[in-house]
Amino acid sequence: MKNIVFGLLFAMLWSSAAVATKMGILSVHPFILANVRLIIAGIFILLISLLFQPQHRIKPSWKELRQLSFFGLFNSTIYLGAFVMAIKFVSPGIGSLATATNPIFITMLSALLLQRKPQVKEVGSLILGLSGILVASFPQLTLEPTVWKGLLILIGGIITVSAATVYYVRTEWKLNSFVINGWQVLLGGIFLLPFTAFFASFSSANFDLRFLLSVAWLIFPVSIAALWLWFYLIDQDPISASLWMFLCPVFGYIYAYLFSGESISAYTIIGTVIVIVGLYVGKKQAPVSSN
């Protein structure tokens, strides 16, 4: 029962990130939003662990710092940087739908790392997932050709975060998962700083109430609460955890409709169903093996 409640909460919170991001980048450059979110969230997570989990070690060894740096680079810097840039070109609903395909890529990458030939249902799952995204995006693709750019950036980011998840599961960690999350988020923000300094325009940034509400939501309910729930669920069972991604497109489109005025068309429904079928097809894979 506990896992069900945590899974529902994760899906509800995680799928809200696309709408909150879309609102935030109306005020500031995407990299500024991502950087503020990552660094503040990382500091808060480590402070919470220090104050309320004193039994857990916070300071990583040099080996652990290298592991955390690699994890943070892929899980936060590259993925979140790609996500916030992609949301400039695609709708929040499409962003949530594409993110939900994460378990499909995790399965494929796991097969490649284990040096085994992907099963037919694994390949079918991937094809269905990508096809569903294209179907749901079709109205936007015909009206705005730049949506292609957003989709490619988004899928690249999803492949990256999927690789990070496989790395997390296959690595033997001695730190608490909450501490691991804090460090990887903070390090991810630090690695993103040079890109923000080079590409972002601070003169046109508007740190208004919309920005503050957006970044607050992305920090606390998403980066802290949802990621803690995700790591907890992964620790219990990586494959069962990934099944909660089924609900992310549903919640994502509800949020997009309520807060961004995004229309829900027949293409939206058909594309979402195709993605969910793709997730179902690949759901009975063997768990990612760990060291």
pLDDT at 116: 75
Torsional class of 14: left (φ above 0), alpha (ψ -120 to 50), beta (otherwise): alpha
Q: Is residue 2 part of a domain?
A: no
Query: Rounded to whole angstroms, how far apart are CA atoms 88 and 169?
Result: 31
Query: Rounded to whole angstroms, how far apart are CA atoms 259 and 245?
Result: 21
CB distance 76 to 218 below 8 Å = no
Query: Rounded to whole angstroms, how far apart are CA atoms 184 and 189?
Result: 9
Q: Is residue 97 part of a domain?
A: yes
pLDDT at 286: 41
Q: Is residue 22 part of a domain?
A: yes
pLDDT at 291: 38
Q: Is residue 287 part of a domain?
A: no
Q: Is residue 134 part of a domain?
A: yes
Instruction: Answer whether 0.85 is exceeded by the pTM.
Output: yes
Phi, psi angles (nearest 5°) of residue 134: -65, -40
Our count of domains for the chain comes to 1
Q: Is residue 126 part of a domain?
A: yes
Q: How many CB atoms lie within 10 A of CB 283?
A: 18
Q: Is residue 291 part of a domain?
A: no
User: DSSP class of residue 1?
Assistant: -
CA dist list (Å): 282 to 39, 122, 243: 35, 6, 10
Q: Is residue 290 part of a domain?
A: no
- The candidate with the shortest Cα–Cα distance to 141, out of 152, 129, 157, is 152
pLDDT at 239: 65
Low-confidence ranges of the chain (pLDDT < 70): 238-239, 283-291
**Kind and range of the H or E element at 271?**
helix 266-281
Q: Range of 18's domain? A: 9-281
